[in-house]
Amino acid sequence: MRIFSKRELNEYSLSLTYDDVSLIPTEISRVKTRSEVNIKSKFLGIDLAVPVVSSPMDTVTGIAMAKELSNSGCLGIVNRFDSSLTELFSNGNVVEGVQAVSVSLTAEDSLLEKIASNNLIVCIDTANANNAHVLNKCEEIKKKYEVKVIVGNIAHGGTLQQLVDAGADAVRIGIGGGSVCTTSIQTGIGIGQVSSLIDCYFTREDQKLKIELIADGGIKSAGDVTKALSAGADAVMLGRMLAGTKETPGEVIKYADQLWKKYRGSASFGVKMKGEFIEGEETMVPYKGSVKSVVNAISDGLKSAMSYLNCESLGELKQKDKFAVLSTSSYLERLPRK
Ligand code: IMP
């Protein structure tokens, strides 16, 4: 079997995603226990205990989620669809513990001023960052205000330089990979997440660009988080993995003897509520209890992976260059059987 370095994987003939690759421990690990492993990082100037960012979707991140994630050492980006943003600034003072908010392309100065004066990170929440209007908005915000700006999404590093020129501090990487995303079906656009990440990572390294990379969409497990980080992401953005937790907006529903919460795409009918072009699904996910338990499970899985791979820090994990490309049957063999 061939062991691929990240650079070699970037040249692979097919587009690859999380289930296509696996990390191979090829050396004796010096890590004694998981507790020795450090997964702390600095992301957009914020100290993260776990490199997890929540997706700014209306069924994922409202104020309660953003606050709880901040308590857990992660980053929550409040969505722009429900009343969360209004609530956030309702009585003159911003609600404590919220570090980032998303805005639409048409966000007005009155909102941006409040965001900037409260030192919050801005996420311009669009489907396609490779768009002149998005880049103009980013440039305008960066010129007027002292804020960090996240743009998105891209699937390839070809335009990374232009994003950096527009002042973007971070970019969401992934088109078509989200679990409620129908973009690829509706448009034929998008490639596998691992290929997207590796391409953007090497573009940034080779062109010496200063921009942080967020793996966005398609992450199903702590194992996928490890793969995203070793493919070059600085942080992972989660939708479905956080959906269904107590802190998400929306009610718990009892159906068929089980508890559920709604999870839907930002471009789904339920969000748009009109006959626009729909690129997202709506679904129900099992109720999961507190988001803290999800974050802890991710943290444990990531630390365990790092102990297998002889890594004491996320910086070391990014340098680990030992990937296997899985055949379908070796992928299936990895799954537990009943
Ligand atoms: P998940 O973690 O796989 O569920 O993916 C979440 C990501 O899917 C989000 O952060 C967005 O990038 C993307 N996304 C959210 N809503 C939609 C949609 O309606 N259409 C396409 N992609 C979406």
Cα 102 to averaged position of ligand 1 atoms, centre (Å): 14
Q: Is 203 in the pocket of ligand 1 (CB under 6 A)?
A: no
Contact present, 236 and 75 (Cβ < 8 Å): no
Specify the 3-state DSSP secondary structure of 62: coil
d(CA 307, CA 302): 9
pLDDT score at 277: 87
The dihedral region occupied by 256, where left means phi > 0, alpha psi between -120 and 50, and beta the remainder, is left
- Residue 270 is predicted with a pLDDT of 87
Helices and strands, counts by H and E, the chain: 13, 15
CA-nearest residue, atom 16 of ligand 1? 265
Q: Is 167 in the pocket of ligand 1 (CB under 6 A)?
A: no
Q: List, for residues 30-75, the tens digit of each pLDDT value.
A: 999 999 999 999 999 999 999 999 999 999 999 999 999 999 999 9
224 lines ligand 1 (CB under 6 A): no
Angle made by CA atoms 293, 295, 297, in degrees to the nearest 5: 70
The superfamily (CATH) of domain 6-332 is Aldolase class I (3.20.20.70)
Has this prediction a pTM greater than 0.95? yes
When mean pLDDT is compared across 27-31, 226-230, 269-273, the lowest value belongs to 269-273
Q: Is 147 left (phi over 0), alpha (psi -120 to 50) or beta?
A: beta
CA separation for the pair 293, 72 (Å, rounded): 10
Cβ within 8 Å of residue 206, ≥6 positions away: none
At 272, is the pLDDT very low, low, confident or very high (cuts 50, 70, 90)? confident
- Site of tokens 């379908």: 328
Q: What is the pLDDT of residue 91?
A: 75
The sign of the dihedral angle between the CA atoms of 287, 52, 128, 101 is positive
Residue 195 in contact with ligand 1 by CB distance below 6 A: no
Question: Cα–chain-centroid distance for residue 7?
Answer: 22
> CB of 163 closer than 6 A to ligand 1?
no
